[in-house]
Amino acid sequence: MSFNIAIDGPAGAGKSTIARAAARSLGFLYVDTGAMYRAIALYLLRHHVQPDESEKIEELLKDMTIRINYVNGEQQIIMNNENVTGLLRAEEVGNMASRSSANPKVREKLLQLQRDLARDNDVIMDGRDIGTFVLPNADVKVYLTASVEERAKRRYVELKEKGIETDMETIEKDIRDRDYQDMNRTIAPLKQAEDAILIDSSKMTIKEVMDRIVDAFQESLKLKG
Ligand code: DC
C-alpha cells in the first residue's frame, strides 16, 4: 500500500518548497495540485472565458486533457499534449486558478487524477483540500500556514529576485483576497482537517518545518507497522 502525506495551507505558506524538499528526502513523488488548477486556468484564459461562465467552462473542459509526468523528479503538466509547466507561475494564472477552482466541474476534472496518483505512489501532495477531501485517509496531514505579513515578505523577496518591482501593500492585499476566495468557496474550501498537524512557519526555518514533517512521517510509519 502506498504512503500518503497531505499538505494544505494558504498561498505563500511555503507548501511547495517544503513538500518538494521532503519528497526528495523521503523518496516520494511530489504532487503539486495547485499546478493542475493553474493549467486549467491557463486553458480558460486562452479561451477568454470568465470564471463564472459555468456552462462554457463545462463545454471547454470536455476538450481538455491533463496528464502529469516527472522529469528529474520535477512534476510536468501536460495539457492537451503540450507541456505547459513553464507557463503556470504567472500572477494572472494564479488569480484565475483561485477563482475558477470554485467551479465544481473544474474540481471534478482533477479529483480522480489526484486520487490515482496517491493510490499508485508514495506521495507528498500539496493543495487546499488534500487532507479534508482528496485524501481523507492520508497517513500524515499537515496544515502549513504563516502570518499574512510573513507570507507577503517572502513573496516580495521572491518577486524582487525575479526583477519584478512591486510594493508590500499590493502583495498583502493579493494574499488576503486569495485567502478569502480559497477559504470561502462552497466546495472543498481551504480549512484545517481535524486530524492535521498545524505548523505555523512564520518564525521557523525550512529545515525546522521539514524536521517536523519527517518526525510525523516516522511516527505514522511506526503506527502502520
Ligand atoms: O497553490 P497554488 O497557488 O499554485 O494554487 C493556485 C490556486 O488553485 C489556489 O488559489 C486555489 C486552487 N487550488 C485549489 O482550489 N485546490 C487545490 N488542491 C490546489 C489549488
Residue with CA at minimum distance from ligand 1 atom 2: 34
Residue with CA at minimum distance from ligand 1 atom 6: 34
Question: What is the predicted pLDDT for the residue at 9?
Answer: 98
Residue with CA at minimum distance from ligand 1 atom 11: 98
Give CATH for domain 4-224.
3.40.50.300
Q: DSSP state, 91?
A: H
Q: Which residues of 90-101 are buried (b: 16+ CB within 10 A; e: fewer)?
A: eeebbbbbbbbb
* 98 Cβ below 6 A of ligand 1: yes
Question: What is the predicted pLDDT for the residue at 158?
Answer: 87
* 30 Cβ below 6 A of ligand 1: no
Residue 170 CA, ligand 1 centroid: distance in Å: 20
* 178 Cβ below 6 A of ligand 1: yes
The mean pLDDT of 68-86, rounded to a whole number, is: 96
The mean pLDDT of 8-37, rounded to a whole number, is: 95
Residues 178 and 171 sit within 8 Å (Cβ to Cβ): no
What residue segments make up the domains of the chain, in order of their start? 4-224
* 39 Cβ below 6 A of ligand 1: no
Question: What is the predicted pLDDT for the residue at 91?
Answer: 86
Residue 223 CA, ligand 1 centroid: distance in Å: 31
Question: What is the predicted pLDDT for the residue at 32?
Answer: 98
* 34 Cβ below 6 A of ligand 1: yes
Alpha-carbon dihedral 120, 126, 130, 134, rounded to 10 degrees:
-40
Secondary structure class of 76 (helix, strand, coil): strand
Question: What is the predicted pLDDT for the residue at 224?
Answer: 79
Minimum-distance ligand 1 atom for the alpha carbon of 134: 18
Give the model confidence (pLDDT) of 181-206 as tens digits.
999 999 999 999 999 999 999 999 99
Give the model confidence (pLDDT) of 90-141 as tens digits.
989 999 999 999 999 999 999 999 999 999 999 999 999 999 999 999 999 9
Give the model confidence (pLDDT) of 143-191 as tens digits.
999 999 999 999 999 889 989 888 999 999 999 999 999 999 999 999 9
Question: What is the predicted pLDDT for the residue at 164?
Answer: 85
The mean pLDDT of 31-50, rounded to a whole number, is: 98
Alpha-carbon dihedral 201, 202, 207, 213, rounded to 10 degrees:
-10
